[in-house]
């Protein structure tokens, strides 16, 4: 990635149609996510040609520009170019005809747009909980020691109050009042309400104005708060229209709370839980019937899911499963082979390429995938760019996913699998799990490395100074960037 983030960001904004075409922008761990006013103004060829851009993913809702681990620096520079208030907003383009495809894309965009900003807190909490588990296993502190209790509380905070975090993030996405969204989500995790739901679960009758309230546990959940905040965005607009101007300061928020909170408690909350439970049931029914084969299929499909951004769809399912059972044994184990395979394939490219710039990119991408489990630099900067290494990764991901499934590996958190986060797969009751984890990781690197060398790849020729000057000129021009170059096949 170029260190001149200001210049790269300026070129990106120009290529997507300029400042006036940006309705909003957010970022996740590796991508800038633009919502545009007019998709037709995007110059895709010019955008992909910018040095520092690893790839571009486009759909009806967003234009996603893959930057890599330095995305936060590029995001900061993009914000300097945009008018105040563009960050995180979700104004989007004008209303279009409603179709099933657009509804599906909208749901996916809402889920990904809401969950992506929360991933750092979720990963941070997961790793703290794993640290507490290791300290407990090694006997550094006695059983029930206050230090372990505090560490577990620190790690569990992001999960216990996940509905509140989801509400805050969704409020930004749906452009509704964040404080009201947080207040309503806070009701769902209030100690008195939790106690009331526990009594309802035991058969005690719980009613609100004569209407029975379904017993639901909302801590560690995503879908209820997300649905609630989406509905809140409409309730707020409706209440704003019917309240007199002189009463808006007190009557408007009171009416919103009195309307939205009961609907959340009696309708949206239970419905969201049923939706989340249904999705989880489908995923793990497949796992129950196919066993290790389902993990193998997921291991092969994972890079393709990441390419489309659909991998974030599994986040609520993983969180809910870990909260209910303490571990997740399908999606997370499949990621071990997928991530490490991308790292091994990148190492093979670095070994064989004659292009110094590509070698540097491949080595950095391999380190990111293998050590930290962040695979997008390897996916976009190497595998997808050269194509055949991606095939090698899919083959390796399938094999290693199957091995992980046969070994019965399961994750106790949802940090992206890599060398530093492999501890999440350690099972205190099964010491052999350590052997299985490292066996799968080594196997993924070895298989993908040699498969990539066997398949070969079209190496990228080294650019001459004249070609670089021509590229720089074209990147700033108004016409799409295009350079004709012959490929050199490496076997």
Work out the average pLDDT over 413-428. 85
pLDDT of residue 470: 52
302 near 309, Cβ under 8 Å?
Answer: no
For residue 91, the model assigns a pLDDT of: 44
The pLDDT assigned to 332 comes to 92
pLDDT band with cut points at 50, 70 and 90 for residue 488: very low
pLDDT at 98: 59
Answer whether residue 151 shows pLDDT above 80.
Answer: yes
Query: Average of pLDDT values for 110-122?
Result: 79
Q: Is the pLDDT of residue 481 over 50?
A: no
What the block records as the tokens of 55 is: 């790839």
Q: What is the predicted pLDDT for the residue at 52?
A: 79
Q: Which of 63-67, 84-88, 372-376, 400-404 has the lowest mean pLDDT?
A: 84-88
- Is residue 279 pLDDT above 70, yes or no? yes
Tokens of 132: 């507490």
Q: What is the pLDDT of residue 23?
A: 81
Q: Comparing 25-34, 35-44, 95-104, 357-366, which segment has the lowest mean pLDDT? A: 95-104
The pLDDT of residue 102: 65
Mean pLDDT within 132-151? 83
pLDDT of residue 482: 39
Name the pLDDT band for 234 (thresholds 50, 70, 90). Answer: very high
pTM over 0.85: no
Domain borders along the chain are 5-85, 107-282, 327-455
Cβ contacts of 191 within 8 Å, gap of 6 or more: none
Tell me the C-alpha distance between 414 and 237, whole Å.
Answer: 37
Q: pLDDT tens for residues 248-272?
A: 788 889 999 999 999 988 888 888 8
Average pLDDT estimate for 383-407: 92
Read off the pLDDT of residues 34-91 as tens digits, 9 standing for 90 and up.
888 888 888 888 888 888 787 787 766 678 888 876 787 888 888 888 876 555 544 4
Residue 60's pLDDT is 62
Residue whose structure tokens are 């905070």: 157
Over residues 419-440, the mean pLDDT reads 88
In which order are the strands placed within the sheet that holds 55-58? 22-27, 31-36, 63-66, 55-58
Does pLDDT of 196 surpass 70? yes
Mean pLDDT of all residues in 242-247 = 84
Is-contact 102 60, C-beta < 8 A?
yes
In the numeric block, which tokens belong to residue 469? 């000057």
Q: Is pLDDT of 189 > 70?
A: yes
Average pLDDT, the chain: 82
CATH class as words, domain 5-85: alpha beta
Mode of pairing for the β-strands spanning 207-208 and 63-66? unpaired
Output the pLDDT for position 438: 94
What is the reported pLDDT for 483?
37
Least confident piece of the model among 12-26, 185-199, 292-306, 465-479 = 465-479
CA 343 vs CA 392, 436, 465: distances in Å: 11, 19, 31
Q: For residue 257, give the nearest of 185, 192, 163, 184 by alpha carbon.
A: 184
Name the residues annotated as catalytic: 28
What's the chain's Rg over C-alpha atoms? 24
End-to-end alpha-carbon separation of the chain, Å?
27
């Amino acid at each position: 990635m170029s260190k001149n983030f200001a210049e790269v960001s300026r070129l990106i904004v120009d290529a997507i149609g300029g400042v006036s075409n940006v309705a909003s922008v957010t970022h996740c761990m590796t991508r800038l996510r633009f919502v545009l006013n007019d998709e037709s103004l995007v110059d895709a060829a010019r955008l992909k040609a910018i040095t520092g851009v690893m790839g571009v993913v486009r759909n009806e809702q967003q234009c996603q520009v893959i930057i890599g681990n330095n995305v936060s620096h590029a995001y900061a520079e993009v914000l300097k170019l945009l008018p105040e208030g563009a960050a995180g907003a979700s104004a989007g383009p004008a209303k279009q005809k409603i179709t099933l495809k657009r509804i599906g894309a909208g749901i996916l965009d809402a889920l990904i747009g809401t969950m992506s900003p929360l991933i750092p807190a979720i990963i941070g909490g997961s790793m703290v909980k794993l640290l507490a588990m290791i300290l407990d296993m090694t006997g550094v502190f006695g059983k029930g020691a206050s230090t372990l209790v505090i560490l577990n509380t620190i790690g569990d905070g992001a999960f216990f109050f996940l509905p509140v975090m989801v509400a805050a993030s969704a409020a930004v996405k749906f452009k509704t009042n964040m404080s009201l969204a947080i207040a309503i989500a806070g009701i769902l995790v209030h100690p008195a309400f939790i106690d009331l739901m526990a009594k309802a679960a035991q058969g005690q009758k719980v009613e609100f104005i004569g209407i029975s309230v379904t017993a639901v546990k909302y801590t560690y959940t995503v879908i209820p708060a997300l649905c609630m905040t989406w509905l809140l965005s409409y309730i707020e607009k409706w209440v704003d229209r019917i309240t007199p101007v002189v009463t808006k300061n007190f009557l408007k928020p009171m009416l919103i709370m009195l309307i939205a909170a009961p609907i959340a408690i009696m309708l949206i909350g239970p419905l969201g839980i049923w939706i989340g439970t249904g999705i989880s049931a489908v995923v793990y029914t497949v796992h129950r019937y196919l066993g290790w084969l389902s993990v193998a299929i997921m291991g092969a499909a994972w890079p393709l899911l990441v390419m489309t951004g659909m991998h974030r769809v599994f986040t609520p399912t993983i969180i809910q499963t870990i909260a209910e059972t303490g571990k997740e044994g399908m999606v997370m184990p499949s990621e071990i082979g997928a991530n490490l395979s991308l790292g091994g394939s990148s190492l093979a490219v670095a070994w064989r390429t004659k292009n110094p710039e590509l070698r540097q990119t491949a080595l950095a991408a391999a380190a990111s995938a293998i050590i930290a489990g962040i695979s997008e630099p390897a996916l976009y900067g190497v595998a997808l760019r050269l194509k055949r290494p991606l095939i090698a990764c899919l083959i390796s991901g399938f094999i290693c996913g199957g091995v992980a499934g046969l070994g019965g590996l399961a994750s106790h958190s949802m940090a992206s699998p890599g060398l530093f986060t492999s501890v999440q797969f350690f099972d205190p009751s099964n010491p052999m799990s350590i052997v299985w984890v490292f066996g799968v990781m080594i196997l993924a690197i070895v298989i993908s490395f040699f498969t990539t060398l066997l398949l070969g790849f079209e190496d990228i020729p080294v650019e001459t100074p004249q070609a670089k000057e021509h590229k720089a000129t074209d990147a700033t021009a108004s016409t799409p960037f295009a350079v004709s170059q012959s490929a050199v096949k490496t076997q």
